[in-house]
């Protein structure tokens, strides 16, 4: 978020939590991207704050409750407040349990794979509407095709990304295997090592597709601990996911630190697989 917006977001979160009767006079920024993740003290809860436009907080809360109820490895909502989105000053705020990081904080590949398998098992039992992974591919293709949104993307790289998204998007969607509800982005940034075990966060990215699309977001070593995965499909999904996130880095509004340097690195990886 812009500095001014982030400051307003912190104030909004503190005001909401205080109005709910919990002591909160300090906000520690844990992550700042399209949404702000804050640890609020001294009540010690986690607040996620996003602009009110284009957010799916109610969907995420419903999903988190259903998965937690089935014992799936997901972060829990804070039990001291009503499980719903809160709105303040143009922001939507959701309130979660804060989990201190376990020591060591890294998740071993076998534990990562086991937790993701448990998550997928819980998700298979849910009947909820969710977008298809191909919607994300289509969004990336539109971004690459829009020169006004990606003005700095070189022509040769634009062609490479467009071709990769088109061919691999079709190949993965026509794979013919089973599909189900997925986390959508179970990369290491959305995985917590806690004293309660490995937990997944940020469920708003859920979509439907093959489990290999989820596995493609995890470190490569994780896939080796999933013997049931289609490893040819997983290889295609890895390149497809890489093309999607590379397209995002060329968006003129992208603010990820070192985003363009990452985009250049990922383009070379995509080129090497072509």
- Which tens digit of pLDDT belongs to each residue from 61-99? 999 999 999 999 999 999 999 999 999 999 999 999 999
Q: CA of 206: how far to CAs of 2, 31, 133, 173, 185, in Å?
A: 26, 20, 9, 17, 8
The Cβ of residue 135 has, within 10 Å, a number of other Cβ atoms equal to: 13
Instruction: Please report, rounded to a whole number, the percentage of residues in the chain having pLDDT higher than 70.
Output: 99
Average pLDDT (101-116) is 90
Question: Is the pLDDT score of 55 beyond 80?
Answer: no
Query: The whole model's pTM is what?
Result: 0.93
Answer whether residue 4 shows pLDDT above 90.
no
User: How confident is the model at residue 9, as a pLDDT?
Assistant: 94
User: 157 preceded by cis ω (within 30°)?
Assistant: no
Is pLDDT above 80 for 103? no
Q: In what order do the strands lie in the sheet with 36-42?
A: 24-32, 36-42, 45-51, 91-97, 86-88
Q: Which DSSP letter does residue 165 get?
A: H
Give Cα 35 to chain centroid, integer Å: 11
Residue 101's pLDDT band (cuts 50, 70, 90): confident
Q: Which residues pair with 95 in a beta bridge?
A: 47
Least confidently predicted of 30-39, 89-98, 141-150, 197-206:
30-39
* pLDDT at residue 118 greater than cutoff 80: yes
The DSSP bridge partners found for residue 200 are 74, 191
Burial classification of residue 134, based on how many CB atoms lie within 10 Å of its CB (0-12 exposed, 13-18 middle, 19 or more buried)? middle
Gap between the Cα atoms of 44 and 58, Å rounded: 22
Q: What is the pLDDT of residue 238?
A: 97
- Flag whether pLDDT at 2 surpasses 90: no
Structure token digits, residue 118: 């448990």
Report the pLDDT averaged over residues 147-169. Answer: 97
Least confident of 45-49, 105-109, 186-190, 241-245: 105-109
Taking only the tens place, the pLDDT of each residue in 250-261 is 999 888 888 899
pLDDT band at 1 (very low <50, low <70, confident <90, very high): low
pLDDT of 132 > 70? The answer is yes
What is the Cα–Cα distance from 256 to 112, expressed in whole angstroms? 25
Question: What pLDDT, on a 0 to 100 scale, did the predictor assign at position 8?
Answer: 93
Q: Quote the CA–CA distance of 219 and 225 in Å, as a whole number.
A: 11
What's the rounded mean pLDDT across residues 134-148? 97
State the chain's mean pLDDT as an integer.
94
Residue matched to tokens 């093959």: 210
């Amino acid at each position: 978020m812009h500095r001014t917006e982030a400051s307003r977001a912190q104030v909004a979160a503190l005001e909401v939590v205080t109005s709910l009767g919990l002591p909160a006079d300090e906000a520690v920024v844990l992550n700042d991207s399209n949404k702000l993740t804050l640890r609020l003290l001294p009540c010690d809860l986690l607040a996620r704050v996003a602009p009110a436009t284009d957010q799916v907080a109610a969907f995420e809360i419903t999903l988190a409750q259903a998965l937690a109820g089935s014992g799936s490895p997901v972060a829990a909502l804070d039990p001291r407040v009503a499980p719903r989105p809160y709105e303040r000053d143009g922001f939507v705020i959701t309130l979660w349990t804060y989990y201190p990081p376990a020591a060591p904080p890294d998740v071993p590949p076998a534990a990562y794979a086991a937790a993701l398998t448990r998550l997928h098992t819980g998700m298979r039992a849910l009947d909820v509407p969710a977008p298809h992974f191909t919607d994300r591919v289509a969004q990336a293709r539109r971004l690459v095709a829009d020169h006004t949104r990606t003005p700095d993307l070189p022509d040769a790289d634009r062609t490479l990304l467009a071709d990769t998204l088109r061919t691999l998007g079709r190949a993965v969607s026509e794979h013919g295997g089973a599909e189900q509800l997925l986390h959508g982005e179970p990369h290491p940034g959305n995985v917590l090592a806690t004293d309660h075990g490995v937990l997944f966060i940020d469920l708003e990215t859920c979509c439907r597709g093959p489990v290999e699309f989820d596995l493609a977001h995890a470190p490569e070593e994780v896939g080796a601990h999933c013997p049931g995965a289609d490893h040819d499909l997983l290889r295609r999904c890895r390149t497809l996911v890489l093309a999607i996130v590379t397209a995002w880095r060329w968006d003129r509004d992208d603010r990820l630190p070192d985003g363009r340097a990452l985009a250049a690195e990922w383009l070379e990886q995509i080129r090497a697989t072509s």
